[in-house]
């Protein structure tokens, strides 16, 4: 009964019961009319057959003027069948009848439905207008080709009352059964349709309260089932984004705490500046500057991630060469690479390309990717930056000597749409999401070729501006 308490389920049940009942009533009316007509046709055929038999039997008696023989036959017939039969001569006078109330009219002029037509030699049948009769049939009595009288057979209302009552009772029972089946089907259908909608309302309310563990999980592949599956997929996406956001915030908080702790420790040491030797003081100031740079990058990344997430990031397009942005990245991170004993260099075998993109944002994405490569490359290793062009796509690549990405296929190029697990902590996890967003904003994408032995190659794949050559871009920038 809980399903009936749902407004939608109740409306569905009532509507389907109403439709089922209406259909049952309409069908019962047509069914009753059809059955009644078929039944009356069957009765008429029976009456015609009985009238013909009677006419054949009494024809000789009428021609030989033996009315008593006619009445004797009719009396015997009354004992055998329930059909009303009367016989008249050619002048319309009653010779005999099976019913007592008509037997008293013997010899009198008689008029009834169908008799006049029968005396003309025509057969007739139909619904009777004579009192007490329902259907009748009348046929001529012929002897040697001459009409010498007529026979009329009929069924009275009293004889058919029980049959009519049985017919009405059967139709009424059928109507009740049809309505019951319609109500049961409506209840089942209403429950099937109403439960997913009710479940959807409950799950949506739970999600509005922040519970992303709820799912509809409606069975079936109809429209409601497909809508429920689409809703569950949306909630899965929301839950994944919430988990990723929580991880990124935790990682950002960790980096902020680490950098702030480093700043505080450096400031504590600098408080006793008079006792510090110049070399120590310079080292502390460089460390303080590095922490400040790291905090600034983290703030920039958080701001950029917010813009990418809301779709409000605007590109400031300019013309430059791929080599120019790679040289900028190397210059920005060369000191950090030296500090970690990692060689950072440009690949000498690279193809330059003209780009029309946002220089600052491309540089930001490549700095984050390169910094990640430096972080995961062991001391004494190398990180190489390169560009290549193929099929109208320029790929700006960072090749490191790290352990690769354990959660993606190895040895094949994988297109990234979400952040791999290797970036699950630290500022660089946020940076990779930003790199994916920056690539997408330029109409490109991010690719990864992971190898646990040789390291990983992460590439920004961007459409090439084919209208300008790299030399033209360089000349344009020099003139400016």
Percent of the chain as helix, strand, coil, to the nearest 5: 60, 20, 25
Q: Are residues 396 and 278 in the same domain?
A: no
203-260, pLDDT tens digit by residue?
888 888 888 788 877 666 766 677 778 888 888 888 877 776 776 677 667 667 766 7
Owning domain of residue 155: 2-163
CATH number at 153 reads 3.30.450.20
Phi (first) and psi of residue 425, to 5 degrees: -135, 160
Same domain (yes/no): 144, 282? no
Question: 52: which residues sit within 8 A by CB, 6+ positions away?
Answer: 139
User: Which of the four pLDDT bands, split at 50, 70 and 90, describes residue 429?
Assistant: low
Tell whether pTM > 0.85.
no
The pLDDT value given to residue 385: 94
Boundary of a domain, candidates 244, 275, 307: 307
Residue 176 resides in a domain: no
Q: How many domains does one find in the chain?
A: 3
* CATH code for position 377: 3.30.565.10
Domain boundary among the residues 307, 325, 341 is at: 307
Model confidence at 7: pLDDT above 60? no
DSSP for 160-210 reads: HHHHHHHHHHHHHHHHHHHHHHHHHHHHHHHHHHHHHHHHHHHHHHHHHTT
Same domain, 355 and 376: yes
User: Tens digit of pLDDT for each residue in 290-316?
Assistant: 667 767 766 776 666 666 655 555 778
Please check whether residue 399 lies inside any domain of the structure.
yes
Residue 186 maps to a domain: no
Give the distance between the most distant pair of CA atoms in the chain: 163
Residues, the chain, total? 480
- Phi then psi dihedrals of residue 136, to 5 deg: -145, 170
> Which tokens hold the place of 23?
């259909």
Q: What are phi and psi of 58, to 5 degrees?
A: -90, -5
Q: Which of 263, 282, 307 is the last residue of a domain?
A: 307
Does one domain contain both 244 and 348?
no
Residues 295 and 418 in one domain: no
Within a domain: 245: yes
């Amino acid at each position: 009964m809980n399903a009936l308490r749902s407004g939608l389920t109740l409306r569905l049940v009532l509507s389907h019961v109403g439709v089922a009942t209406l259909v049952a009533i309409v069908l019962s009316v047509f069914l009753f009319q059809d059955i009644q007509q078929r039944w009356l046709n069957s009765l008429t055929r029976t009456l015609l057959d009985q009238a013909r038999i009677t006419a054949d039997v009494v024809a000789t008696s009428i021609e030989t003027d033996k009315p008593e023989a006619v009445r004797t036959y009719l009396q015997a017939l009354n004992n055998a069948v329930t059909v009303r039969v009367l016989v008249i001569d050619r002048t319309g006078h009653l010779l005999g009848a099976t019913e007592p109330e008509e037997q008293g009219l013997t010899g009198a002029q008689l008029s009834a439905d169908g008799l006049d037509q029968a005396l003309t030699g025509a057969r007739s049948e139909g619904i009777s207008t004579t009192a007490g009769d329902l259907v009748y049939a009348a046929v001529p009595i012929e002897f040697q080709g001459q009409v010498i009288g007529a026979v009329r057979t009929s069924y009275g209302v009293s004889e058919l009352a029980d049959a009519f009552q049985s017919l009405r009772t059967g139709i009424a029972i059928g109507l009740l059964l049809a309505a019951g089946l319609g109500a049961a089907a409506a209840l089942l259908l209403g429950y099937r349709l109403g439960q997913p909608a009710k479940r959807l309302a409950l799950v949506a309310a739970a999600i509005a309260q922040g519970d992303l563990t709820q799912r509809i999980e409606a069975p079936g592949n109809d429209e409601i089932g497909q809508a429920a599956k689409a809703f569950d997929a949306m909630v899965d996406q929301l839950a994944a984004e919430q988990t990723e956001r929580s991880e990124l915030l935790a990682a950002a908080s960790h980096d902020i705490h680490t950098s702030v702790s480093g700043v505080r420790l450096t400031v504590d040491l600098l408080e006793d500046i008079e006792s510090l030797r110049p070399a120590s003081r310079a080292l502390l100031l460089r460390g303080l500057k590095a922490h400040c740079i790291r905090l600034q990058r983290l703030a920039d990344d958080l701001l950029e991630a917010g813009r990418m997430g809301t779709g409000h990031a605007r590109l400031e397009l300019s013309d430059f060469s791929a080599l120019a942005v790679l040289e900028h990245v190397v210059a920005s991170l060369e000191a950090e690479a030296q500090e970690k004993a990692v060689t950072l260099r440009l690949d000498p075998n690279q193809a330059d390309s003209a780009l029309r993109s946002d220089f600052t944002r491309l540089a930001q994405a490549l700095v984050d990717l390169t910094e990640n490569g430096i972080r995961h490359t062991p001391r004494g290793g190398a990180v190489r930056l390169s560009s290549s062009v193929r099929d109208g796509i320029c790929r700006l690549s960072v090749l490191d000597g790290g352990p690769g990405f354990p959660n993606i296929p190895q040895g094949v190029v994988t297109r990234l749409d979400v952040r791999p697990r290797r970036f699950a902590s630290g500022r660089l996890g946020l940076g990779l999401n930003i790199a994916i967003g920056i690539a997408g904003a330029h109409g490109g994408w991010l690719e990864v070729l992971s190898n646990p032995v040789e390291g990983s190659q992460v590439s920004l794949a961007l459409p090439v501006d084919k209208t300008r050559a790299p030399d033209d871009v360089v000349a344009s920038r020099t003139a400016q």
